[in-house]
Amino acid sequence: MTVDSIISRLPAETTDSERERIRRAHAFAARLHDGRRRHSGDPFITHPVAVAEIAADAGLDAQMICAALLHDVLSDADCDEADLNFEFGDEIASLVRGLTDLEALEPADLHTADERVLTLKLLDRLHNMQTLQYVDQQKQLTKSQETLELMTPLAVRLGLNHIADELETLARARLNTSPQGARASARALACATALLPRAARSRYLEEWLGELDALPTRKDRILFTWHVLVSVPHLALLLRNSTWIAALRWILSSNVRTWTPLLALLGWITAETAKDNLGEAVVVLITLPPVLNAGVKWLRTRFVHQE
């Protein structure tokens, strides 16, 4: 995760001076955050870079992307506002200051803030929600509730519907209180994430569980789980590094059944499900292997035969 991952997301019409300003903002933030770590253990600079990537993906301008990179330098680093103003000008400095000042506002007063500052707050919250598994359980619940009740409606008001959707999905996943009948589907999805890279598992599982929780009927949950499981081998192929891709291609090109490498996980998921509902455990045992097998058969047809 480097400044180049941000630059690569910029539209073609971005000027050279704008690109250079973004590079300077990254270097400035990296210097001030040097040595700091997030709860995950990652260097702190990975957070502002991720927020800037979200800003770029949302089509925001270079000023907003710079502000995203610098959004924590006043609150969490030894940076003077005058220095920030001198380096990057009034507009970027005021955006960063505005975001810092938001902490003092009551939720009911958020509508008085600059919409661009509120947008930065939403982007910051989105990445924090994507990495929420690294903080304690109570904070996860508190932040998720706040996100659902405050941040998601705010994103809708600002017209950031795709941000609102992801915030709501992530928040509902953390607050998930699925009925017993949905537990087997949730465990099947958890089992399927074993095929994905470790860094991607929690994000995809949270999104899937959030969508699962919103489904009204058992039939809807079963269909949703089926579609996810069938697509997981393809998703894993896209996300994995070359070593894993080679292993997946071996599975695709061999006669080994898809679920054979997952026998241990399949046994665990069946046993855990049986504690709550023996019938659901039987459903898992009967349906999970053929569903995964269907996904691999589709990949075999699409990819292996092309080689």
CA distance 272 to 262: 15
Instruction: Say if residue 54 is in the same domain as residue 108.
Output: yes
Q: What band does 52 get if pLDDT is binned at 50, 70 and 90?
A: very high
More confident of the two residues 206 and 66: 66
For the chain, what is the domain count?
3
Instruction: Say if residue 167 is in the same domain as residue 284.
Output: no
207-253 pLDDT, tens digit per residue, is 888 887 777 676 777 788 878 877 877 777 677 655 555 655 555 55
Q: What is the mean pLDDT of residues 69-73?
A: 96
Place of tokens 């855990």: 272
- Specify burial of residue 255 (Cβ count, 10 A radius: 0-12, 13-18, 19+): exposed
Instruction: Say if residue 169 is in the same domain as residue 145.
Output: yes
Instruction: Say if residue 52 is in the same domain as residue 125.
Output: yes
CA 8 distance to own-chain centroid: 19
Contact 94, 48 (CB under 8 A): no
CA 169 distance to own-chain centroid: 10
Residue 13 lies in domain: 3-176
Among the residues of the chain, which ranges form H helices? 3-7, 16-32, 46-57, 62-70, 73-76, 81-101, 115-130, 137-146, 152-157, 161-174, 183-192, 198-214, 218-239, 242-253, 263-276, 278-302
**Nearest CA-CA partner of 146 in 161, 160, 132:** 132
Q: How far apart are the first and last CA of the chain?
A: 32
Instruction: Say if residue 128 is in the same domain as residue 12.
Output: yes
- Neighbouring CB atoms inside 10 A of 189's CB total 21
CATH number for the domain harbouring residue 68: 1.10.3210.10
Alpha-carbon distances of 178 from 92, 186, 209, 216, rounded to whole Å: 43, 9, 9, 11
Q: What band does 25 get if pLDDT is binned at 50, 70 and 90?
A: very high
Instruction: Say if residue 35 is in the same domain as residue 170.
Output: yes
102-144 pLDDT, tens digit per residue, is 988 877 677 788 999 999 999 999 999 999 988 888 888 899 9
Residues 6 or more apart in contact with residue 193 via CB below 8 angstroms: 201, 204, 205, 232
- Where is the domain boundary, 240, 260, 290? 240
CA distance 307 to 68: 43
CA distance 285 to 263: 11
Contact 118, 110 (CB under 8 A): yes
Instruction: Say if residue 59 is in the same domain as residue 114.
Output: yes
